[in-house]
A and B are shown apart, each in its own frame.
Chain A
Amino acid sequence: ETGVTQSPTHLIKTRGQQVTLRCSSQSGHNTVSWYQQALGQGPQFIFQYYREEENGRGNFPPRFSGLQFPNYSSELNVNALELDDSALYLCASSLGGQNSGYTFGSGTRLTVV
C-alpha cells in the first residue's frame, strides 16, 4: 500500500500570493488532517476533513481553507500569504474512528518572501 504523498515538496511564494498544497492519502483512508509546523516548533493543527466535509478546525484564520475530494485526496489553500506562513505543512491520513492511527506525509516546505 502507498503511504501519504504531498506535493510539491518545496515552494517559494511572494507575500500576498495564494498557494495550493496537495495531499494524497494512504489507500482506503477517508480522514485527512493538516498541520503547520514552524521551524523549531511542534506541528499545529489546522483542520481535518472526513468524507469531504470539514470536521474541526484549529486556531487559523479563514484565509486557510481546504478541500477533500471523492477519492479522499485533499488540498490546503492559503490566500494572502504572510511571511509568518513560512513553515512545513504536513498532512496525515487515517481510516478514521476513535483512537485510529494517522500516517503523516513528508510535508511541503513553504517559504514566503
Chain B
Amino acid sequence: DAMVIQNPRYQVTQFGKPVTLSCSQTLNHNVMYWYQQKSSQAPKLLFHYYDKDFNNEADTPDNFQSRRPNTSFCFLDIRSPGLGDAAMYLCATSRVPGLLYNEQFFGPGTRLTVL
C-alpha cells in the first residue's frame, strides 16, 4: 500500500544534542510537509518542499532545518533541541499544486522527548 512512513516513532534526545527525524513516502507526491504538534494543540506547519523548492514558514525557528535528497525522503533536523521542542512531529505529503485540491496524507508521527 502507498503510504507515508516516519522513523523513528519515538525519539529521546538530550538537551542540545542534535537529532534527525526521517520521513519517506511511496505515494510519489511532489510536496512534503513537516508539522510540529504540541500536546493538546493543533499541528503547526514548520516548512514544506515542492520538489526541491524549500519553503520555510516565517515563524519557524532557525534551530529547525530540513533536507530532501530525493522525491521519496525528507528529513527534519533539530540542531540544538530545547525542552520546548518536545512534541509530536508529523510529516505529510500532497500531489502537484494546481489540482482541484491538495489533500494531505499524514504519516504516523514521531514523538520527540527532550531530557
Q: Are A and B physically bound partners? A: no
